[in-house]
């Protein structure tokens, strides 16, 4: 299995956002992970569709857009139009999760659902055939640079078993670095989000390579 690396631009230099995206593309990442925060669902603010649209031309890599906003459904079309390829909504922030996933797919995008650390995987049972990606938060969402919550490893394993042979990617976000990535992948993840672990140095190719090397 080839593990995909999705650097979170939350940890990048916002003053050079387009250049940062181009740099991690050149460094060999697989997705560009974009954390959208509303200051309501999570205690932080980031950016919205206009910024995503502005940086879309800097790479051809998929934009993996993680909506930490409540409500999300009224804005799905805006994010699709801005250039998102994968749109992930939080189960905790969506009263009509099934409908939102249908809307995302109807917009021609891949549909994702995210679970906070205290949210049980049983919430996924009735939407498994409507998702393309499941995102397990291994930190409490809202801030970068947090430590990995070990209890999420068992959840990742259980979700991998639930997925079975469905073509669903299992992504993990939060505290993933060269020390934790192997346990995350061994538990069942095939996409890992890494913010600080990638952007901590000047050589993004080296930091991404270090993550792959940690899996050997």
Provide the pLDDT confidence category of residue 6 given band limits of 50, 70 and 90.
Answer: very high
> Of residues 38, 64, 132, 173, which has the active-site annotation?
173
Look up the CATH number of the domain holding residue 81: 3.20.20.70
- Domain span at 122: 4-213
List the strands of the sheet with 86-90, edge to edge: 4-7, 191-194, 169-173, 133-137, 110-115, 86-90, 63-68, 32-37
> Of residues 35, 64, 94, 132, which has the active-site annotation?
35
Confirm whether 35 is a catalytic residue: yes
> Using one digit for the tens of pLDDT, what is the confidence trace for 26-83?
999 999 999 999 999 998 999 999 999 999 999 999 999 999 999 999 999 999 999 9
Q: How many domains does the chain have?
A: 1
CB 156 within 8 A of CB 170: yes
Q: Kindly list the distances between the CA atom of residue 163 and the CA atoms of 155, 176, 181, 196, in Å, as whole numbers in the listed order.
A: 12, 22, 20, 29
> Using one digit for the tens of pLDDT, what is the confidence trace for 156-212?
999 999 999 999 999 999 999 999 999 999 999 999 999 999 999 899 999 999 999
């Amino acid at each position: 299995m080839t593990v995909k690396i999705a650097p979170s631009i939350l940890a990048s230099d916002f003053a050079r956002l387009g250049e940062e995206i181009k740099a991690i593309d050149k460094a060999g990442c697989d997705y560009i992970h974009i954390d959208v925060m509303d200051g309501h669902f999570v205690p932080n603010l980031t950016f919205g569709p206009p910024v995503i649209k502005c940086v879309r031309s800097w790479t051809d890599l998929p934009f993996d857009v993680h909506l930490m906003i409540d409500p999300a459904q009224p804005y799905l079309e805006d994010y699709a139009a801005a250039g998102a390829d994968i749109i992930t909504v939080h189960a905790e922030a969506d009263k009509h999760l099934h409908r939102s996933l249908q809307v995302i797919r109807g917009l021609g995008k891949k549909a994702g659902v995210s679970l906070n650390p205290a949210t049980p995987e049983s919430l996924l049972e009735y939407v498994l055939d409507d998702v393309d990606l499941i995102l397990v938060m291994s930190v409490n969402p809202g801030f970068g640079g947090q430590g990995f919550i070990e209890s999420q490893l068992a959840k990742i394993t259980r979700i991998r078993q639930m997925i079975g042979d469905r073509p669903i990617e299992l992504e993990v976000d939060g505290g993933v670095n060269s020390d934790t990535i192997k346990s995350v992948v061994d538990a069942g993840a095939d996409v890992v989000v890494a913010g600080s672990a990638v952007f901590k140095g000047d050589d993004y190719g080296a930091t991404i390579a270090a993550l792959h090397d940690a899996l050997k």
